[in-house]
Structure 1
Amino acid sequence: MVVNAFTGTYGINYGRIADNLPPPESVATLLKAARIKNIRIYDADNAVLRAFKGSGIEVIVGLGNEFLRDISVNEDRAVQWVKLNVEPFLPGKLVKGIAVGNEILGGADMELWEVLVPAVKNVYNALDQLRLADKVEVSSPHSEAVFATTFPPSAGEFKESVLPYMRPLLQFFSQIGTPFYINAYPFLAYKSDPEHIDLNYALFQTNPGIYDAKTKLHYYNMFEAQIDAAYAALEKIGFDKMEVIVSETGWASKGDENEAGANLRNAMIYNRNLRKRLLKKKGTPYRPKMVAKAYVFALFNENLKPGPTSERNFGLFKADGSVSYNIGFTGLVPSSAFSVLGSIKV
């Protein structure tokens, strides 16, 4: 039986690298008010899961990169981890999936590339042993660094260096019915090449679009082009039936001077248009019957995240629970952002 860990089309990533966030109980209230049912967290914090219990929220928990080496060589450790972090929250459909690592392939730590497939298999075997394999999906999200090329979408192709690790992973995922999860950020693409990328194309605004001569398809937003590039890459290595789900996408509302496009207006436009697009429950130009699904990054601004200013400013909500900008959600407390941005037409 294939597990469907994402029952809607619009989810959100709840990152917590911050020291000023509301307690998980308040977050559960916020999510219910916003009618957001599908959540991803980057660990399996039991306090968070307890707070969400009985709320109707469905969570993909994360097995952090730091655990992969140990789990890959020790199935008993995988069983322990599942018993501690997943089993107590079933039945009740709270934990719907386990993301094993995040952005491993294509990343800097080549040792992790080696241990990813054994870790994934041990987590699945642990679920199987505990008779949970038909209730909890096992996945592993990738960054755009796994691709050699993504433009035009039909040219989408995995890097040669990644293939020896990607192929066995996808073979296993195709056996157990797991989709291909990709972290796809038009913001990062635009930021890296603002001279050549039309901002309106990145933001789902009116633009001439791009034409893919091979497929004879037009693309009017980068989000769909990125998804279809992943479909093309999968097809080239024999996985043309695998679904693509966007595990992270978002737009920073603030950035450093050299971070093109990182501002409040663009973040609001991207996230508002993304939500509208996902709620249409439509496919992409290349896969019109495969409904596009995505988890937005992120629920909150995270003030302790390292890196450029943008990294700390992806939140749809501020730490106090008010909205960062208005895309139709109600915050826990009123926000001045409503009055400031309410007049901007999108």
Structure 2
Amino acid sequence: MKPEKWQGRVFLLLTFMFYDVSGAFIGINIGTDLTSLPSAVDVVAILKAHQVSHVRLYDADRRMLNALAGTGIEVMVGVTNEEVLGIGESPSVAAAWVNKNVVAYVPQTNITAIAVGSEVLSSIPNASPILVPAMNYLHNALVASNLSSQVKVSSPQSMDIIPRPFPPSTATFNSTWNSTMYQILQFLKNTKSFYMLNAYPYYGYTKGNGIFPIDYALFRPLSRTKQIVDPNTLFLYTSMFDSMVDATYYSMDALNFSGIPILVTESGWPWLGGGNEPDATLENAQTYNNNLIRRVLNNSGPPSQPTIPISTYIYEMFNEDKRPGPTSEKNWGTFFTNGTSLYPLSLGSSSQLTGNSSGVGAFCVAKQEADTDALQAGLNWACGQGQSNCTAIQAGKPCYDPDTLQNHASYAYNDYFHKMKSVGGTCDFGGTATITNVDPSYGSCIFAGSSDSNKSVVTAPAAFGPMPTIDVGGSTSILQVSEFVYLILAIILALV
């Protein structure tokens, strides 16, 4: 996890997919500081439903590693900050950690990286003397297991260790860490690994006291009078994200290191904040993450390293409501725990996940955070005055289960939307509804607008109802047959 001084996390209701495109990829971080963490099987089902190709775990949870087996998803496992000390003091402890948390799972689980700690230099500086030894011991254990070419070792660092990141060309690491940073970079160079960077324009903007415009932080175009240019190189910076990455490249160069690619292990924007956090909004979070994905998938680097892509892990999968600190600290999630997402996200500069003009592929569903009374009123109106066909959500009918207000309202809202769209009907229902293009159909419950209107195939398991879970008593759930479902889905998608 990021150190507590970092304030936010992003809860966007997203329907985006994560690809590996031409060398650049978008991944996602999975934090666990939440009250109701879904089972590992459920988490992996959500990842697969949204075609996530890369994940970062902050530890090496055996349930997640087992659930990820056979998926092909590339996994970065984490050595916790608490574990760094023991590993850095003992090669045998490091070897035992690798045997238990890596060797035991590959090749079934596609582990490709170990993140040693999280922002160790800025969060637990007293551990800095043993950070590089820990990295070396872990790498040596991988060599002994013949895994060093497959599994790379690095350590995520925050932008805090670069005190003056602008202009990028004059950026340097805090001199306090020069010796440690030199050793880290030498290790990365020797092992052909990458520099892990946590880059948060949200903090760069909110702590900048108005120095930079918010459009610069959100990847939005700047007017000709507000262009951000490095006065030394005359490089034009169109986003703070690129500036942060370049500041890190220049800081490495100041220690005479080049050729070490940067992997952004965390980046995002909080969707909700307290009264003193006005920039943590749903609109800003949606804008940032849309544009971040677009930026990463164009497969280019920052101005000083244009040919080195900036693969990035979005922070984060779920809201972590147990984290201390301000409101924003708890609100960086991109998925609700039942698998629904906050809003559509574009996957590239020409690809936008929105409904088309015919309405096929666009669905009107109840908002996860909608007030219960308002939702009930919306459902009553849809099934009454709105003349939605609500037969399917009656007891014993295909869409009755799961028997929840959220599920029933989504079905009724969507039926109204598709009947009335052509004559001006909207998807609002007192602010309790939203448009998505993730098909909420499941089993034999088919929502209007689904391309599967003549089929009974699960297109996105429980996408807009509570995610089925495996009962501790052994009751059956949809996710227990998810492997079969996804195999069928893969075949269908290949034929489309």
**Which TM-score applies when normalising by structure 1?**
0.92
Q: Which amino acid aligns with 2:162?
A: F
Residue type at the aligned position of 1:203: L
Aligned residue for 1:126? 141
2:157 equivalent in structure 1: 142
CA contact (8 A) 2:23 2:309 kept: no
> Partner letter of residue 275 of structure 1?
I
- Deviation (angstroms), 1:56: 1.4
Q: Which residue is 2:289 aligned to?
A: 271
Residues in 2 aligned to 1:37 and 1:158: alpha-carbon distance in whole angstroms = 32
The answer to whether the 8 A contact 1:185-1:250 is kept is yes
Residue number in structure 2 paired with 1:296:
314
Match of residue 273, structure 2, among 234, 255, 270: 255
Q: Equivalent residue for 2:183?
A: 168
Amino acid at match of 1:191: T
Secondary structure in 2 matching 1:20: coil
Structure 1 distance, partners of 2:250, 2:112, is 28
Residue in 1 that maps onto 2:421: none
AA partner of residue 277 (structure 1) = R
Which of 92, 97, 101 matches 2:113?
Answer: 97
Q: Which residue of 1 aligns with 2:50?
A: 34
Q: Is the 8 A contact 2:70 2:109 kept in 1?
A: no
Asked whether the 8 Å contact 1:12–1:295 carries over to 2, the reply is yes
- The runs of 5 or more residues in structure 1 that have no matched partner are 1-5
Residues 290-316 of structure 1: CA deviation (Å, up to 9, x unaligned): 112111100111111112111110011
CA distance in 2, matches of 1:231, 1:255: 32
Query: Which residue identity does 1:133 align to in structure 2?
Result: S
How many residue pairs get aligned? The number is 335
Distance of 1:8 and 1:231 partners within structure 2: 18
Deviation at 1:271, TM superposition (A): 0.5
RMSD after superposition: 2.1
What does residue 3 of structure 1 align with?
none
Alignment of 1:184-223 (within 5 A): 184-208=199-223, 209-223=227-241
Deviation by residue 1:233-283 (Cα, 9 ceiling, x = unmatched): 111111121111111000000012222410111001100111111121122
Gaps of 5+ in 2: 1-21, 347-352, 355-363, 369-426, 437-496
Cα pair 1:315 1:324 within 8 Å, conserved: no
1:32–1:335 distance in 2 versus 1, CA, 3 Å: farther
Separation in 2 of the partners of 1:9 and 1:189?
Answer: 24
TM-score (norm 2): 0.65
Q: Secondary structure at the match of 2:175?
A: coil
Partner of residue 367, structure 2:
336
Q: 1:72-111 counterparts in 2 under 5 A?
A: 72-92=88-108, 94-107=110-123, 109-111=124-126
**Conserved? CA contact 2:66–2:109, under 8 Å:** no
Alpha-carbon distance, 1:7 to partner:
5.9
Partner AA of 2:128 in structure 1: W
Distance in 2 of aligned mates of 1:106 and 1:57: 30
More displaced 10-residue stretch of structure 1: 40-49 or 319-328: 319-328
1:283 partner letter = G
